[in-house]
Amino acid sequence: MNGRGGLELGEDWKHYFETRHEGLGTTYERFVLHEYFRRIRDRYGVGTVLEAPVFGMTGLPGINSMWWAMEGAQVTLVDHSSVRLDAINNLWQEISLKVRLVYDPGTYASLLFEDKEFDMSWNFAALHPELKLEILLRELIRITRKVIFICVPNRMNPFNRVCSMLKGRGKVVQLRGMDPGTIQRIMRNNGWQVKDKGFLDVPPWPDIAMSKEDLFRKIGLKQYAKHLRENITEKSRICILDYYSGRNRKMKRKMGRYGFLENSPNWLKTIWAHHRYFVFSPRHPL
């Protein structure tokens, strides 16, 4: 698994497992997601959850769905790297949570699940350009009964565009798989409708879509970035795993202090929110 047959999306994820440091922004967005999970659970009665793909843009892969497991749902994760799946499995074991881990070679074209096996499928900033978007979405539709929840970077945020240029070394990275119009069109053409959409993850800081260490490295301050990464201390380290494990139960309240813009006017969220979200359901429910 990349292992090494399918998608190749880089190795930037590995250092998160080594340092267990995700930073303030990633930790904050994870807590924001919990509020949307609660709404979806209460509205649709979700008991079985599939996250596919699990590899997003920053942070530890494979832990966003821990909230669902802690709430009693059966969780399945799909990834195209066996090495990463092994690392994810260790994290779940540390928190004493049950999860089913499934390998896919990277096409996500024929997932080994029954039709309508899951109440919900979802992913967060994981629709990378290398994926064949329509094939993936049609497969999620096939195996999902009630609701599909998709979050993508907010391309209307000007900071997102600047950081995209940094990632592309001067050229804007075209995240075709994350285009909201394309996603909605595919879902509509396959019998699903938008039940809710909007903006989420609206903290008071700008969207850099990467760790600050990566940002400094990309703008040429490699030694400073190396210094920051090598000098992460237990006191400076921040990761939601400490909340899940019970080591830091105050983390939720601390993150909540930064959420005062989540209910701001739509015009402000359009240019400042870090992500957009879409909730889809079947046009003709079973």
Among 3-12, 85-94, 205-214, 265-274, the range scoring the smallest mean pLDDT is 3-12
pLDDT above 70 for 164: no
Looking only at the bridges linking them, the beta strands covering 192-200 and 275-282 are: antiparallel
At 266, the pLDDT band (50, 70, 90 cuts) reads very high
At 153, the pLDDT band (50, 70, 90 cuts) reads very high
**Cα distance between residue 13 and residue 68, in whole Å:** 22
**For residue 76, what pLDDT is reported?**
98
At 77, the pLDDT band (50, 70, 90 cuts) reads very high
At 10, the pLDDT band (50, 70, 90 cuts) reads low
What DSSP string describes 217-250?
HHTT-HHHHHHHHHT--TTT---THHHHHTS-TT
At 226, the pLDDT band (50, 70, 90 cuts) reads low
At 104, the pLDDT band (50, 70, 90 cuts) reads very high
**Cα distance between residue 16 and residue 2, in whole Å:** 18
**For residue 200, what pLDDT is reported?**
97
Rounded percentage of the chain residues whose pLDDT exceeds 90: 66
Higher per-residue pLDDT: 62 or 176? 62
At 146, the pLDDT band (50, 70, 90 cuts) reads very high
Please answer whether residues 103 and 79 qualify as being in contact, where contact means their C-beta atoms are separated by less than 8 angstroms.
yes
Q: What length does the chain have?
A: 286
Q: What does DSSP assign to residue 151? A: E
**For residue 169, what pLDDT is reported?**
47
Q: How far apart are the first and last CA of the chain?
A: 35
**Cα distance between residue 178 and residue 53, in whole Å:** 13
**For residue 23, what pLDDT is reported?**
86
For all residues of the chain together, what is the average pLDDT? Answer: 86
* Mean pLDDT computed over 178-195: 95
Q: Show the tokens assigned to 199.
A: 């903006």
Please answer whether residues 104 and 31 qualify as being in contact, where contact means their C-beta atoms are separated by less than 8 angstroms.
no
Give the sign of the dihedral formed by CA 186, CA 190, CA 194, CA 199. negative
Look at residues 4, 11, 286 and name the one whose alpha carbon lies nearest to residue 145. Answer: 286
Taking the CA atoms of residue 136, residue 182, residue 176 and residue 239 in that order, the dihedral angle to the nearest 10 degrees is -70
**For residue 285, what pLDDT is reported?**
83
Burial tier of 250 (Cβ tally within 10 Å: 0-12, 13-18, 19+): exposed
Q: Show the tokens assigned to 161.
A: 């565009």
Higher per-residue pLDDT: 7 or 192? 192
pTM assigned to the model: 0.88
**Cα distance between residue 224 and residue 18, in whole Å:** 19
pLDDT above 90 for 8: no
pLDDT above 50 for 274: yes
